Structure formats: structure tokens, C-alpha cells
């Protein structure tokens, strides 16, 4: 799910509005200087006049006209800068204004997206992923194995290795991940670590808690007025570059919604779109709660990672309470 046409058009309009705003700001600054320093406008007029005169000389074959023009323009430019600084303004006060001097606020350099445009895309992808705030705290830079030991540590390290491998082949090799195990052992955290890395390479990511996802699917299934919204959601669910379903098993199951989940997982598999699922359910509980075909789909096409150990969230909470 790359940026939609409407999203791309909105981003282009943002850059156009930025250019227009800065052009207006530049114009207002020039009007201000002309009003406060009349000599400045006289110098601008002189520059225009001299440019025309020397241009005519150049056309008439005067080979020295260009070098003379450069010298005269340099002298007049210095006079203008001195006027500005003598009246308390920066010497570059009337330079063209750009937020990005590399692309001059066009978003492109030689038909290639500028770094500022790419960053705007990433910002938009964060906003649409639903986990922008979470990823500020939950990412590889804050990842720690200090809470694990023994077999728990081994499982955690294996899961982290799977995450790095998932990221290294993302967009090249189709993979899915299924994190399961006890509460508070880092399943959602690892999903977030992956999401941040994927988003920052420009790939669209959608994150839903299972409760959020099932509520939306249920509303669209039973409310005919929301059928179009459901269609658009399903299109995004099927086509986004990465879908994360967190805390599977915490949702309230309703009629037909389980079949929607299967359709989602199946469609994404057919389209080779990676999915990450996390749950506190055991494998047996997952099989019993959902249909055999959903469980079979997960076991057949997902790298399964088990995480065990202490509830890290509760452990951190106790540490805070002791202070």
C-alpha cells in the first residue's frame, strides 16, 4: 500500500503552499526594506538598469560587457548588504527563503525525491500506522535482555534474531512472524521494533490491537452504512506492506468476524504481504479459540517465536513504586 493518489497530491500541495508562503514572506520583507531604506530600492533599480545596458553591449559585440557587469553587480550587492547591516538587518535578509535549500522546497532534485520529501512520507506513514507515540519508546535502541535468564533469555535472543532477519530481507523475501507466550514478555515490544525499522525505510505499516481490528470489522459487517468504510479498510489490510495484529485473543469474538480474520490472513498470504501477530494465548488455546484453518494458516506460513519470563511491565512498575 504505497501512498494513495490523494495522499501524494496532498503532500505536493503542502510543498506548493510552503513555496507560496515563503514567496509572500520574501515580498513583504522587500516592501519593508523599501519603505524603511529608500536607497535600497534605488540600488535595485540601478541593478536592473545596468543589466539591460550591459546586455545590449554584449549583443553588440562588446566582449568586455559581461566582466564589467559582474564587477558592477558585485559592487552594488555589497552596497545593499552594507545598507541592511547598517540599519540592523542581517546581510542575507532579502535572500530567497527556503525550508530546504537542497530542493528549494520543490520536494525533488533532478526528478529524484529530496530527503525532505522522503521524510514527509515517513511522517505520514507513522501517522497512519496507529503507533507513532508507542515507537518513540519501544524500538531497538531501548531493547534490553536484562529481564531474562536461562531458557527465557535463550528464547528472547532467538526472537530478536528472527526480528533482525525479518527486517534484513523485508521487501525481498516474504516472511510472517507469530509471537506467543506469557504476559508482558516483550511480544508487542518486538513488533514495535520491527515496525519502526520498516516505516523508516518508507514502507507503509498498519498496526491494530486485536480488539480494535475486530471492532472495526464487526461494525462494517453489521452496519450497511459502513460497508464502504469496511471495503476501504480491507483494501488497506490486504495491501499494506506490513500488518501488525497485537494481543490476539483479547478481542470479543462476534459472528462472521473470525471469517474476516481468515480472509485477511489468506489474502495477505496470496499477495505475499508480511504480517506479524502477537498473542498471550498458548498454541492450543489459539487453535481452540479460532478455526482450524486459521491455526493451520499460521503454523504453515509464520515463523513462530515463543517468549516466556517475568511480566516486564509489572516488574518495572514495582521498581517505580519502590522509589
DSSP secondary structure string for all residues of 288-301:
HHS-HHHHHHHHHH
Q: In terms of residue numbers, what domain contains 255?
A: 130-322
| Parallel, antiparallel or unpaired: strands 108-109 and 112-113 | antiparallel
Say yes or no: 77 and 170 in one domain: no
Distance CA 159, CA 144 (A): 13
Whether 136 has a pLDDT exceeding 80, the answer reads no
CB contact at 8 A, 143 and 193: yes
Distance CA 65, CA 295 (A): 82
% of the chain beyond a pLDDT of 70: 89
Give pLDDT tens digits for 193-238. Answer: 999 999 888 788 888 889 888 887 776 554 545 566 667 677 778 8
Say yes or no: 65 and 157 in one domain: no
Beta bridge partners of 243: 206, 275
Distance CA 43, CA 77 (A): 9
Say yes or no: 144 and 270 in one domain: yes
Distance CA 94, CA 132 (A): 38
Domain-located, residue 317: yes
Q: How many domains are there within the chain?
A: 2
Predicted confidence band of residue 84 (pLDDT cuts 50, 70, 90): very high
Q: Note the pLDDT of residue 75.
A: 92
Between CA 292 and CA 303, with CA 297 as vertex, the angle to 5 degrees is 130
Q: Note the pLDDT of residue 35.
A: 95
Q: Note the pLDDT of residue 220.
A: 55
Q: Note the pLDDT of residue 86.
A: 95
Domain-located, residue 104: no
Instruction: State the pTM of this model.
Output: 0.67
Q: Note the pLDDT of residue 105.
A: 94
Cα distances (Å, whole numbers) of residue 278 to 31, 188, 302: 61, 7, 11
Say yes or no: 159 and 85 in one domain: no
Say yes or no: 188 and 291 in one domain: yes
Higher pLDDT, 167 or 52: 167
268-278 mean pLDDT: 96
286-313 mean pLDDT: 91
Which CATH number goes with the domain that contains 200? 3.40.50.300
Amino acid at each position: 500500500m504505497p501512498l494513495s493518489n490523494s495522499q501524494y497530491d496532498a503532500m505536493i500541495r503542502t510543498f506548493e503552499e510552503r513555496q507560496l508562503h515563503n514567496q509572500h514572506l520574501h515580498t513583504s520583507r522587500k516592501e519593508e526594506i523599501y519603505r524603511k531604506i529608500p536607497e535600497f530600492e534605488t540600488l535595485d533599480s540601478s541593478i536592473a538598469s545596468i543589466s539591460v545596458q550591459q546586455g545590449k553591449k554584449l549583443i553588440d559585440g562588446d566582449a568586455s560587457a559581461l566582466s564589467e557587469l559582474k564587477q558592477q553587480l558585485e559592487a552594488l550587492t555589497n552596497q545593499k548588504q552594507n545598507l541592511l547591516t547598517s540599519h540592523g538587518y542581517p546581510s542575507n535578509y532579502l535572500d530567497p527563503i527556503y525550508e530546504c535549500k537542497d530542493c528549494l522546497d520543490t520536494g525533488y532534485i533532478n526528478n529524484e525525491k529530496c530527503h525532505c520529501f522522503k521524510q514527509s512520507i515517513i511522517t505520514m506513514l507513522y501517522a497512519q500506522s496507529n503507533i507513532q507515540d508507542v515507537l518513540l519508546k519501544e524500538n531497538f535502541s531501548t531493547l534490553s535482555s536484562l529481564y531474562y535468564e536461562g531458557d527465557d533469555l535463550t528464547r528472547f535472543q532467538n526472537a530478536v534474531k528472527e526480528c533482525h532477519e525479518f527486517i534484513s530481507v523485508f521487501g525481498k523475501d516474504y516472511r510472517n512472524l507469530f509471537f506467543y507466550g506469557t504476559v508482558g514478555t516483550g511480544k508487542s515490544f518486538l513488533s514495535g521494533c520491527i515496525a519502526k525499522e520498516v516505516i523508516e525505510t518508507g514502507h507503509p505499516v498498519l498496526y491494530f490491537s486485536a480488539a480494535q481490528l475486530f471492532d472495526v470489522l464487526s461494525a462494517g459487517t453489521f452496519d450497511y452504512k459502513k460497508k464502504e468504510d469496511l471495503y476501504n479498510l480491507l483494501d488497506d489490510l490486504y495491501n499494506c506492506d506490513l500488518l501488525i495484529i497485537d494481543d490476539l485473543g483479547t478481542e470479543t469474538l462476534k459472528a462472521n468476524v473470525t471469517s474476516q480474520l481468515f480472509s485477511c490472513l489468506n489474502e495477505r498470504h496470496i499477495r505475499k504481504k508480511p504480517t506479524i501477530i502477537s498473542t498471550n494465548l498458548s498454541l492450543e488455546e489459539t487453535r481452540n479459540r479460532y478455526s482450524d484453518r486459521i491455526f493451520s494458516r499460521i503454523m504453515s506460513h509464520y515463523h513462530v517465536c515463543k517468549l516466556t519470563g517475568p511480566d516486564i511491565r509489572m516488574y518495572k512498575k514495582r521498581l517505580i513504586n519502590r522509589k
